[in-house]
Amino acid sequence: MSALLEVDAVRAGYGSVMIVHDVSLRLERGELVTIIGPNGAGKSTLLKAIFGLLPVSEGQVRLEGNEVTDEMPSRIVRLGVSFVPQTENVFPSLTIRENLAMGGYQRSGDVDDRIAEVLGLFPELAERPGARASHLSGGQRQALAIARALMLDPKVLLLDEPTAALSPVRRGEIFDRLQAVREGGVALLMVEQNAREALAISDRAYLLVDGRNAHEQAGPEMLANPEVGRMFLGLDSADGEDGA
């Protein structure tokens, strides 16, 4: 059987400037897969190309075996893929409940039952559904962005730096929620700079360097890989502690 999501030798960028070069990856049903790499490696560009926000110059993107390369994002959403960008991912002037209702705009019929289901995964949001997003903490906003993306029951959730600029406590809360989302049957493909924490909960991981595949490994195995740890995770291979 085909993987749920397949990226095959994709090249993408901005105009004539290619950022992603022949990158391939796969996401199986029920997996959490993390993409790590240095700044400028093409991680976010890759997610945007998968979601149709940037054109693919070469290669293919397939969902459940069907090609979706360069489909419009609205079409990608209808096919079962949701995307949480790093910034500007909620409506600040709307309440939590209103944000979720906006996330479910393509649902037929009443969205109240789905809002209740989604809030069940995010108790910190369920406690104050009438609060405006502008009054939420950074971690709560990220939780709301993820919750809003879940309103359409996606098969695949793409996340770009979901814990950026969050405190260690808030990062842990977001990672806990993402594991709960995976346990609910949604496959996740995540770009993450807080790589050590992300790899620890990932089924598999890809390392991108200069817009190219550099390494693929199970998440905990990549976390324990001394070369990856030394070069990209700030670990000293001699003792496993943070490097100087």
With respect to residue 240, please indicate whether it lies within any of the assigned structural domains: no
With respect to residue 244, please indicate whether it lies within any of the assigned structural domains: no
With respect to residue 90, please indicate whether it lies within any of the assigned structural domains: yes
191: containing domain: 5-232
Q: What is the Cα–Cα distance from 207 to 193, expressed in whole angstroms?
A: 11
Q: Which 8-state DSSP code applies to residue 154? A: -
What is the predicted pLDDT for the residue at 241? 36
Helices (H), the chain: 43-50, 73-78, 96-103, 112-119, 123-126, 138-149, 168-183, 195-201, 219-224, 226-232
User: Element (H or E) spanning 157, and its range?
Assistant: strand 156-160
CATH of the domain at 103: 3.40.50.300
With respect to residue 242, please indicate whether it lies within any of the assigned structural domains: no
What is the predicted pLDDT for the residue at 99? 97
Token pair of 177, please?
A: 């929620």
With respect to residue 142, please indicate whether it lies within any of the assigned structural domains: yes
Domain count, the chain: 1
With respect to residue 169, please indicate whether it lies within any of the assigned structural domains: yes
What is the predicted pLDDT for the residue at 1? 66
pLDDT tens-place values along the chain, 244 residues long: 689 999 999 999 999 999 999 999 999 999 999 999 999 999 999 999 999 999 999 999 999 999 999 999 999 999 999 999 998 999 999 999 999 999 998 887 779 999 999 999 999 999 999 999 999 999 999 999 999 999 999 999 999 999 999 999 999 999 999 999 999 999 999 999 999 999 999 999 999 999 999 999 999 999 999 888 877 776 554 344 333 2
Partnered with residue 14 across adjacent β-strands are 17
Q: What is the Cα–Cα distance from 42 to 48, expressed in whole angstroms?
A: 10
Q: What is the Cα–Cα distance from 58 to 98, expressed in whole angstroms?
A: 39
